[in-house]
Amino acid sequence: MSRTLVAVLFSLSVTCAFAQRESPCWKTATSDSDMNRCAASDASEAEAEMNHVYQDLLLKLKRDGKATKKLRAAQDAWIAFRKAQMEVLFPTDEYRICYVLTATAVTEARTAELRRMLKDEDCCCPGIPGPGHPFEG
Contacts of 131 by beta carbon, 8 Å cutoff, 6+ apart: none
Query: Mean of the pLDDT values across residues 98-105?
Result: 95
Please give the radius of gyration of the chain, using alpha carbons only, rounded to the nearest integer.
17
The better pLDDT of the pair 36, 12 is held by: 36
The answer on pLDDT for 7 being more than 50 is yes
Instruction: State the Cα–Cα distance between residues 113 and 135, nearest whole angstrom.
Output: 12
Lowest mean pLDDT among 14-18, 29-33, 56-60, 88-92: 14-18
Which architecture does CATH list for 3-20+46-118? Up-down Bundle (1.20)
In the chain, domain spans: 3-20+46-118
3-class DSSP state for residue 61?
Answer: coil
| Stated pTM of the model | 0.75
